[in-house]
Chain A
Amino acid sequence: MHTMWKGSISFGLVNIPIKMFSATEDKDVRFRTLHKECGTPIKYTKTCPICDREVQNEEIVKGYEYEPGRFVLVENEEIDAITPETRKTIEILDFVHLEQIDPIYFDKTYFLSPQETGDKAYSLLREAMRRAGKIAIAKITIRSKESLAAVRLYENCIVMETIFYPDEVRSVEHVPGLPGNIALNESEMNMAIQLIENLATDFNPEKYTDDYRNKLLELIHAKIEGEEVQEAPNVPRAAKVVDLMAALQASLDATRQDKKEKGKGTASTQAAETKEPAKKRKRKASL
């Protein structure tokens, strides 16, 4: 696993040096977009519609649109100046019960493991949390972004879930068309409850697979097997390297042949000529 981050958990007077790893990975199948006509991956260019030309990166500034068509410009340095200092700490603030956090708050999960000197403190926190049956709420900084996190146990590992700030979770009030209290038929209700109970089971994640992804990959592999392959013009790196190698071998053969021919006339100096002096002369020329 690739270490994303090194830092520490601070917990009262205890400081636990840790490494952080991403706990989940996105397995979506990604596509590139090609020009249908020739199969070249298309390129996005940034253009200015008024100046009617392509704009380079160094010509681009950030603007905040405070009302339509009106911007305040913000320089990168100004953003840097107010960016929270990356102290790289997971600062534990409170301990709460996991059930008190609605899953809507959870964003991304990271595994935490102790660094070389953190074994004991890590085990201590892990065991204490297990016994207390509580999880920690902490403040963290990742990539200059401050966020809130829940620190909890998953199997034998301390994990950290970044959680949204309350104002990042939208209010249910704004969901359109939610029915209020509608009078329900009691026998229909009993039937619905019956149905739920019939489908009730234990959560077993292995049971669920991404059928769409599997079918998509099957489709793609079938096309590769069937050589239904579109090759981009101008970018056939593979063919180019092979040609280049052939050309290189031919050119080396030619120079060697050349050297042999030259050597024939003066048999006595042949050895000397094909060894050091020839190389040295060339080296000078190319350096």
Chain B
Amino acid sequence: MVSLLMKKSDEFDLEIGEYKLRITNPKKFLWPEDQITKLDYIHYLIAVAPVILPYLRDRLLTTIRYPDGIHGKSFYQKNRPEHAPEWIETQYWRETNYILPNNLETLIWLGNQACLELHVSFNKYQRERFPTELVFDLDPTDVENYELVLEVAGKIKEVLDSLGLFSQAKTSGASGLQIYIPITEHYTYDQTRKLNKFIAEYIASKNPQQVTLERLVKNRGTKLYFDYLQHWEGRTLPAPYSTRARKGGTVSTPVTWDEVKSGFRPTDFTILNILERIKNKGDLFSSITTEKKEQSLDELLAFLEQKQLD
């Protein structure tokens, strides 16, 4: 139930159910090269809400605001600002009053704040120590070399298959790729770190010319960085279907393993064409919440723990 009420100077009120939201500067270009306005962005959020909300709900939001578009000043926002409407749901965690991006009206409000990137925690706030997925974050040092990202992702997929783990990939929307392994929601970050580190070390030692675990960018050369440290409490990754503040309006996009094999560019998926893709292929990311949700890591962790004691 969304209805418009035009006001002076392009501002207008958007009524969403019982809530009323003032949309300011709707014609401002947020992605100027692509002529994407704030109104376009809010339209996108409304259209994508049914598929994005399941991956935002109950998670702690870190957002990046670009009030003057992607080339203007930007800032990270974790705390709920004072001027936020009182119906914005929040959750205190470690001295920060995080916004919970739980519904359409919150999304629209974020859109009006020019929050162009929506990054969320790996866990839901109710289960603060337990991530919902095990996630690998691949970050190329040479951003032009996406072939390397795809090749290494393929190798990781083979390893995961050999361990009997189902996995789903998505682009970061920038130059990286992330692999999500849905797990039973009772493994702590310490446990997932163990497995993440083990697989990272395995991939790096099998492919020393391609993959590095080096934290300092200057020491990475042109290798791909397997960032196993990102998957941790308090840290975030862009939610699937979140836009990124980059030329082209790229979107963090779930991809199939067949697509990883046949190749694509992360810039292929943008705010301008992602809805069409969702219409044709459905929400590919839903794979992590369907029948594969309850993957056990017990055997793997037991094995690693036992080996470490030896």
Contacts and interface: CB of A to CB of B under 8 A. Distances in A.
A283 B298 contact: yes
B300 interface: yes
B108 to A, nearest CB: 25
A255 B162 contact: no
A244 B307 CA distance: 8
Given A237-B201, A238-B205, A241-B202, A252 B298 contact: no
Interface string B182-218: 0010000000000000100110011010000000000
A252 B160 CA distance: 12
Contacts of A279: 294, 296, 298
Contact of B303 (A238, A242, A251, A256): A251
A286 interface: yes
A88 to B, nearest CB: 19
A189 interface: no
Given A244-B198, A245-B202, A252 B299 contact: yes
Nearest to A27: B218
A63 B163 CA distance: 56
Nearest to B216: A2
B208 A283 contact: no
28 contacts: A116-B75, A237-B205, A238-B201, A241-B201, A241-B205, A242-B202, A242-B205, A242-B206, A244-B198, A244-B202, A244-B307, A245-B159, A247-B303, A247-B307, A248-B163, A248-B304, A249-B162, A251-B299, A251-B303, A252-B162, A252-B163, A255-B299, A256-B164, A282-B296, A282-B298, A282-B299, A286-B301, A286-B302
Contacts of B75: 116
Contacts of A256: 164
Contacts of B206: 242
Contacts of B303: 247-248, 251
Nearest to A238: B205
Interface of B: 73, 75, 159, 162-164, 184, 198, 201-202, 205-206, 208, 294, 296, 298-304, 307
Contacts of B300: 248, 252
A90 to B, nearest CB: 23
A247 B308 CA distance: 13
A130 B113 CA distance: 37
Q: Sorted from nearest, which 6 A-B pairs have the closest CB atoms?
A: A238-B205, A241-B201, A245-B202, A279-B296, A241-B202, A282-B298
Contacts of B296: 279, 282-283
Nearest to A236: B205
Contacts of A251: 299, 303
A155 to B, nearest CB: 21
A175 to B, nearest CB: 38
Given A248-B303, A249-B162, A279-B294, 14 more contacts: A116-B75, A238-B205, A238-B208, A239-B205, A241-B202, A241-B205, A244-B202, A244-B304, A251-B303, A252-B162, A279-B296, A282-B299, A283-B298, A286-B302
Residue among A237, A242, A245, A255 facing the most chain B CB atoms (10 A cut-off): A245
A237 B198 CA distance: 11
A92 to B, nearest CB: 26
A256 B294 CA distance: 18
A24 to B, nearest CB: 13
Nearest to B205: A238
A238 B207 CA distance: 10
Interface string A214-257: 00000000000000000000000111011011011101100110
